[in-house]
Structure 1
């Protein structure tokens, strides 16, 4: 009898353990800022869950070992002299001239090299975002290498949110975002808008360089805030050398500049290290294949995606700034859509409405 009782208890504990493991293994469901307000529209866009699924893969333990990918060996280390030579070459092409070798930067480079799967995903995202970044940077006459700063900031996740409250690809705090005309309300957060936040980031970086005049210190100011940099400079006779002042910066900023240098290196030399590129990008459209349209009537993004004959996932990937599904009418609301989907929608609406164009798209040219 005692034996049977013990077996029953052990069986019960086994089932309980299984249920606990199953519950904690399920991903949490994030509802943007609406997680704090349950009274809002129940049809919130679950983009946080979507990005979590795309960005978080299975963790692999490398600890300095070489990782294998089918035919090629992932090269996770690099000789000092080889790295110095490659830095020298990058500096010849760069306006920033920040590629300086030291042991901290070397360690940061090899840290990124051990993240082969992560880098492969980032490259697939970069194929969508970088043409737009480069266009904005060129317009503001800024170094093109600054496009890699968005990887350090957010992993190119347009809805990334930090513990401090910074949001978007370029991680703007609410106060700084407002200075650069990034509006925030219950319908949308323009810090999550890749195009508008990139424009704001370019203006902010341009302002910082005009005030500081040193790209390493500009990067430090972008991370720690200009006030921190100004204070350090004042306390050190305005010596504008980041590495001489390195010990005075917060720990996060001490690692921030090396990470920027390292991701520049990896994105330029990933092929030499046999890092495989993830071919299946979540973005089915190129940035230049999209167009911005005004919303003239109240719409549901879910139903609108159905009308466009495109997936809801594709629609919200192009419009991560929206926090809710129901978008009210008004001249201030816009949607980014694939150009060919706009043409498709126009044609179907003409057939259904006897030649009258849908009011949502009535101001859009026939051939954008």
Structure 2
């Protein structure tokens, strides 16, 4: 806050000086070259100050982004570039009339309450938005369905009934309890919430193999398939859009 006030004061002072110089033109004299140099110096200072202000503002924006209270490489160019991509893609969610935004306002508090009962960070509620746009009728070409896009076998493994008569993946409460159990088991395995989120997308076995093969222990350092490499960025972007709109 202090930095911003100093920058604003500096900009205001230079603008006032420029205004005074140009509003009181002086006759041609031997001091003209000096005055021209002084004017150019002031203009450069204003531009430099504006650029610094923009950079600080952008840095502040990225530094405030978080996910599951875990470390994020805010300062890294690759992180900012990927995040910007999905922030731009999801920008339509800022519209108050958007259907997803309305459903989020209604359903996310219910999802968050269930996740909290399992000790899961509230940020994981945005997985349901990324997976299905909170539309339970959504079904992937692989057969994943419901709010949390469970495959039938995984859904049954975590207590949901999925057969020709009943599909509990379409039940918000029951499917969220199942998702919470699954996420908790992934965190128990990987000891890291960001990796648990990635494993939710790609599967625990596949992620274990990538970690072992690449000798890494951090999602942001891993080379993954395109979908999983973008997955956490999508969650963070969805969170940022919905919480700031």
Q: Would you call these one fold, judging by a TM-score over 0.5?
A: yes
Counterpart-to-counterpart distance in 2, 1:119 and 1:210:
39
Contact 1:214–1:240 (CA under 8 A) maintained in structure 2: no
Alpha-carbon offset, residue 216 of structure 1: 2.2
| Count of residue correspondences | 188
Q: Does 1:161 align with 2:143?
A: no
Q: Does 1:243 align with 2:220?
A: yes
Which of 52, 62, 69 matches 1:95? 69
Q: Residue 169 of structure 2 corresponds to which residue in structure 1?
A: 191
Q: Does 1:266 align with 2:244?
A: no
Q: RMSD of the alignment, in Å?
A: 2.2
User: Which string of whole-angstrom CA distances, capped at 9 and with x for unpartnered residues, describes residues 190-239 of structure 1?
Assistant: 111111000000111111011112222211111111111000011022x2
Is the partner of 1:169 in helix, strand or coil? coil
Q: Does 1:225 align with 2:200?
A: no
Give the TM-score normalised by the residue count of structure 1: 0.48
Alpha-carbon offset, residue 240 of structure 1: 1.2
Counterpart-to-counterpart distance in 2, 1:178 and 1:98:
34
The structure-2 alpha-carbon separation of the partners of 1:82 and 1:213, relative to structure 1 and needing over 3 Å to count, comes to farther
User: Which string of whole-angstrom CA distances, capped at 9 and with x for unpartnered residues, describes residues 280-304 of structure 1?
Assistant: xxxxxxxxxxxxxxxxxxxxxxxxx
User: Which string of whole-angstrom CA distances, capped at 9 and with x for unpartnered residues, describes residues 73-129 of structure 1?
Assistant: xxxxxx7754542343343x9524447442111221122114545983212101221
Q: Residue 105 of structure 1 corresponds to which residue in structure 2?
A: 83
Contact 1:90–1:99 (CA under 8 A) maintained in structure 2: no
Which of 85, 105, 109 matches 1:127? 105
Could you say which structure has the higher helix fraction?
2
Give the TM-score normalised by the residue count of structure 2: 0.70
Counterpart-to-counterpart distance in 1, 2:163 and 2:226:
33
Contact 1:88–1:99 (CA under 8 A) maintained in structure 2: no
Q: Which runs of 5+ in 1 are unaligned?
A: 1-78, 271-368
**Consecutive aligned runs of 4 or more in structure 1 exceeding 6 Å deviation:** none
Could you say which structure has the higher strand fraction?
1
